[in-house]
Structure 1
Amino acid sequence: MTAALLFDMDGTLIDSEPVWHEQMRAFAKIHRIEWTTEDAHWTTGRPMIEWADRMRDRGVALDRASIIDTVASAVADAVRDDVPWLPGSLALLQRVADAGVPAALVTNATAGNAQALLEAAPEGALRFAVSADDVERSKPDREPYALAIRRLGADASACIAFEDSRSGAQSVVAAGARLWFLTTQLPSSPVPAERTIGTLADIDHDELLSLLA
């Protein structure tokens, strides 16, 4: 069977959730709507259309796509300027690149956000990204991971996917891949996981590669 690695972005490879929250608050302030800390945390792992619709319900007089594009573009610019790598992520991506292991990024963020991460990653580490712009149904639907697995030419049951959110974990399991859950956002996996780890720094690279062999 052909094996591959699949990586979520926010909360898995990079600590960009605070950046998203900051830009959402800035956007809300400009448009004079209420956007609390609770609202910001509610967005974690959710499809972007959901928080865009909540902002429209609060009174933002823009269409859904414009809201998403404005906030996501600001986040992408911030990440390009200073990539907030989480512990162990850059080292693991470099090992993946050196070993030539097929790997892809799978995120609910926009193509622009995904591209910013692809540009920052070690050359050859991530072959492509599946973003919200590439699918009809974002996580927790199986479509994002199923599409990435298909594009990699891999077998779902041989793929290991790293996730940190409820919706992401549900998407991995629905696609038939092996879930390694990171507790950067939640204390435990919301669905059965093959492994639960703190960050990517807790992974033994040699063991991981042997599991893919």
Structure 2
Amino acid sequence: MNEKATHPAAVLWDMDGTLIDSEPYWIAAETELCRSFGVGWTHEDGLQLVGNPLLVSAQVLIERGVDLEPEEVITYLLGRVTAQVRERTPWMDDARGLLDAVVSAGIPCALVTMSYSMLADAFVSRAADAFAVVVTGDQVTHGKPHPEPYLTAAERLGVDITRCIAIEDSPAGIGSAHASGAATIGVRRLIPVEKRPGLSRVASLAGLDVDMLGRLVDGHVVDDFGETA
């Protein structure tokens, strides 16, 4: 049997928190912005925004007391985080290892992020030619947890979404990927990964290889956490 026959049609990657450890950059930027308006903002507050569309996060910050228009909030946050990613791209080692293996196997990849093109472009420029398609938050009508971002990525790649693997870390992102019909891996980073039917949950991507991704597309599920998150 041809081993490649069981490989995924494509691997669809979240960016913030999954491929790069950028969530601390986002939380720091939110904290700085809130402080400039005399508004308190904690690490736990920042965790609540992980994986959300930027417009949703901006609205939360405005409701907390940041006296700016939503697009002004987004521009500030994106500018701060993009500058830091350009200065130092904080790769997750386990994700980079798996990405390299997937690319070496000739499997197409898409980046599916709720960050806007400014930040995605800064990251992709550091990722060689790993991504055939990039879908960003400013390119879709409905952001995560709606399935549109992942369905858009599969459509642009010309592949069946049900033969794709999606890799995510946040509740919104996992919800989006799972609803799209992709075989979804939830990797635990900052936030627990809740159990869902058919969802694979891992403590690290380091234990995964291309053959395992093929088995997941064929319906196999892995779960490092049992009944816990």
Question: What one-letter code is carried by the residue in structure 2 that aligns with 1:7?
Answer: W
Query: 1:133 is matched with which residue?
Result: 138
2:156 pairs with 1:156: no
Question: What one-letter code is carried by the residue in structure 1 that aligns with 2:55?
Answer: I
Query: 1:170 is matched with which residue?
Result: 175
Query: 2:102 is matched with which residue?
Result: 96
2:59 pairs with 1:53: yes
Question: What one-letter code is carried by the residue in structure 1 that aligns with 2:87?
Answer: D
Query: 1:180 is matched with which residue?
Result: 185
Q: Distance in 2 between matches of 1:94 and 1:13?
A: 12
Any gaps of 5 or more consecutive residues in structure 2? 219-229
Shift of 1:189: 3.3
Question: What one-letter code is carried by the residue in structure 2 that aligns with 1:83?
Answer: T
Provide the TM-score with structure 2 as the length reference.
Answer: 0.85
- SS of alignment partner, residue 115 of structure 1: helix
2:91 pairs with 1:85: yes
Shift of 1:56: 1.7
Which residue, 202, 207, 219 being the options, matches 1:202? 207
Query: 2:80 is matched with which residue?
Result: 74
- SS of alignment partner, residue 104 of structure 1: strand
What is the aligned residue count? 212
Q: Distance in 1 between matches of 2:62 and 2:212?
A: 47
Asked if the contact 2:114/2:136 (under 8 Å) is kept, the reply is yes
Question: What one-letter code is carried by the residue in structure 2 that aligns with 1:9?
Answer: M
Alpha-carbon RMSD:
2.1
Provide the TM-score with structure 1 as the length reference.
Answer: 0.91
Structure 1 residues 38-97: Cα deviation after superposition (integer angstroms, max 9, x where no partner): 321111122222221122223323210110111111101101111111122222222222
- SS of alignment partner, residue 88 of structure 1: helix
Query: 2:116 is matched with which residue?
Result: 110
Alpha-carbon spacing, 1:31–1:192, altered in 2? closer, same or farther (3 Å): same
Any gaps of 5 or more consecutive residues in structure 1? none
Shift of 1:205: 3.6
Asked if the contact 2:25/2:84 (under 8 Å) is kept, the reply is yes
Shift of 1:16: 0.8
Structure 1 residues 9-38: Cα deviation after superposition (integer angstroms, max 9, x where no partner): 112111111111011111111222222223
Alpha-carbon spacing, 1:41–1:211, altered in 2? closer, same or farther (3 Å): closer
Identity between Structure 1 and Structure 2 (%) = 37
Q: Return 173-182 or 53-62, whichever deviates more.
A: 53-62
